[in-house]
Structure 1
């Protein structure tokens, strides 16, 4: 249940509690909140636990340069750290840092690892049950693992053959493809999830976690069928934040472990993860001639430049360019 926000006091007094409350008021994703808190705490610890209000641009520059020069973080990691402290000062403390002069990391951005279609299907076939269906959605619909396990019954539109991704990174909603091959398995999974929900209701439970303040706005929504997770956890558990016994969705780590086990049984020598399915979704669409703007929309990228990296992954060979050594 690490995707459920921790409770905060009604009137937060501690600095980090007030910082969290500010991010929630701005409706930042909980994962962004956790990431920003980790980097802000790292910034504070680097400066011997000085209060951020007593520091400014010079201290931010020193810390970001340390991340590049001593910790050798990747470009995107340093950017995330920068975003965290910029939010801290500009949004929360309402102080302009001016022009920062930190050393930028020189670790280049790596191209993502991708599966060929044959490799992706081998990995999926080596999995089973719920984990196999989750992996199929990651590859067939371009979902992140967290988006797949968080799918709710109302997110599937069988008539339009599409998925609505509502609890996405950055709280950006999008619509993506629902593969025809997954229609029957997904219907069966939903039937199983709703049967389990019906049994929970008979046992006096059945209220699912709702994001934001929806449980207060719609008191009956938590027990309605449309809000139930498509991939419910096998057992009910006590929600440590609300102290409510409920059934959450299957854990992301369970899917990751199932994929790692499948990979270990196959002779695919790539450093792959669950996210490799999402990368492979994009590259295979690109190889099939799908235009980059459509792929951007399906992936939920704000900036098309993020999507453009897949043009480098596909490479010249996929565009019909041959090595001179291969010419007859």
Structure 2
């Protein structure tokens, strides 16, 4: 249950109850999803337990590293996620003037994970994958796919999209993203036409107050799980007919990766890509500036070794 504590953490409530409550309020205020809220809370409670009564404000870099080391043989991604939760916890406390420093910022993230290239589809593969979108509500499903693959929306942002967020005359959508931030994004003309058609075909919701743009056959807002299932089924069929992507772990978020990579490859300024993706920091956008094998080969093809030096 959201906002709940782990079983038998009465002592933690007694020792750190005020900080825990502040962290919960801060995450809700910032619009964290339920899954992130619960995951971060779970990690922070485990971290607080490791302090064994030490004041949160007295904890140091050593305490944070000690806790990370105590999590036996975890993957780099898991370690970084735990560190991110602890960093966020201290950010919340500083925001509420319950702490003055963030010892977790002094701990570096794993370089292995930090330097790992995101999985993405090349533009031609992204186009091919659209052919495998099926179902009774195909126009709706294509529009959802295009919003993630050609506008870079997160699955939660697609889920939260309301009728009022589609500005037909301007050809834009208004997205409510992470950190409770609004972002107006220009939409490609073909997608505008799909969105107009989806709105025309939209099932009348059972509730008159329901303003969801994407509605299920049961007359309710299409859930995140339903959107993920749609994308998963599409990629499954796509993989079965395309051997070169068989081993790729494709998902909703990989469509977002593909969008970012496509823009940067087309020479779009990284600052513009940052704004379109709704990133708080350009460092987050930097992960998409990876170089692929074809680019490496193209670069090396320009290198000419004079025959005279080897003859």
Q: TM-score range by the shorter chain?
A: 0.7 to 0.9
Given the alignment of the two structures, is residue 264 of structure 1 paired with residue 239 of structure 2, yes or no? Answer: yes
Give the Cα–Cα distance (whole angstroms) in 1 for the partners of residues 102 and 87 of structure 2. Answer: 14
Match of 2:148 in 1: 138
The correspondence of residues 286-297 of structure 1 with structure 2, limited to 5 A, is 286-297=264-275
Aligned CA RMSD, in angstroms, stands at: 3.5
Give the Cα–Cα distance (whole angstroms) in 2 for the partners of residues 132 and 318 of structure 1. Answer: 34
Give the Cα–Cα distance (whole angstroms) in 2 for the partners of residues 146 and 45 of structure 1. Answer: 32
Given the alignment of the two structures, is residue 182 of structure 1 paired with residue 191 of structure 2, yes or no? Answer: yes
Give the Cα–Cα distance (whole angstroms) in 1 for the partners of residues 193 and 48 of structure 2. Answer: 52
Match of 1:207 in 2: 209
Q: 2:204 aligns with which of 174, 196, 202?
A: 196
CA contact (8 A) 1:134 1:149 kept: no
Residue 116 of structure 1, CA deviation: 1.2
Match of 2:216 in 1: 233
Residue 175 of structure 1, CA deviation: 1.7
Write 1 or 2 for the structure with the bigger share of helix. Answer: 2
Residue 250 of structure 1, CA deviation: 3.1
Residue 140 of structure 1, CA deviation: 1.5
Give the Cα–Cα distance (whole angstroms) in 2 for the partners of residues 303 and 315 of structure 1. Answer: 27
CA contact (8 A) 2:151 2:185 kept: yes
CA contact (8 A) 1:162 1:176 kept: yes
CA contact (8 A) 2:31 2:178 kept: no
SS of corresponding position for 1:312: coil
Task: Give the gaps of 5 or more residues in structure 2.
Answer: 5-12, 306-311
Residue 87 of structure 1, CA deviation: 3.8
Residue 45 of structure 1, CA deviation: 5.2
Match of 2:46 in 1: 42
Q: 1:305 aligns with which of 242, 261, 283?
A: 283
Across the two proteins, how many residue pairs are aligned to each other? Answer: 278
Give the Cα–Cα distance (whole angstroms) in 1 for the partners of residues 277 and 108 of structure 2. Answer: 32
Residue 317 of structure 1, CA deviation: 2.0
SS of corresponding position for 2:209: coil
Match of 1:219 in 2: none
Deviates more, 1:51-60 or 1:286-295: 51-60
Deviates more, 1:140-149 or 1:71-80: 71-80
Q: Deviations over 1:47-68 (max 9, x none)?
A: 6xx567578335434213334x
SS of corresponding position for 2:99: coil
Q: Deviations over 1:254-279 (max 9, x none)?
A: 23432443343331232322212112
Change (3 A) 1:86 1:183: same
TM-score (norm 1): 0.70
Give the Cα–Cα distance (whole angstroms) in 1 for the partners of residues 153 and 172 of structure 2. Answer: 12
Residue 157 of structure 1, CA deviation: 1.2
Change (3 A) 1:87 1:34: farther
SS of corresponding position for 2:173: strand
Q: Deviations over 1:195-245 (max 9, x none)?
A: 513xx2xxxx3333xxxxxxxxxxxxxxxxxxx111113226xxxxxxxxx
Task: Give the gaps of 5 or more residues in structure 1.
Answer: 8-13, 209-227, 237-246
TM-score (norm 2): 0.74
The correspondence of residues 146-161 of structure 1 with structure 2, limited to 5 A, is 146-161=156-171
SS of corresponding position for 2:192: helix
Given the alignment of the two structures, is residue 33 of structure 1 paired with residue 37 of structure 2, yes or no? Answer: yes
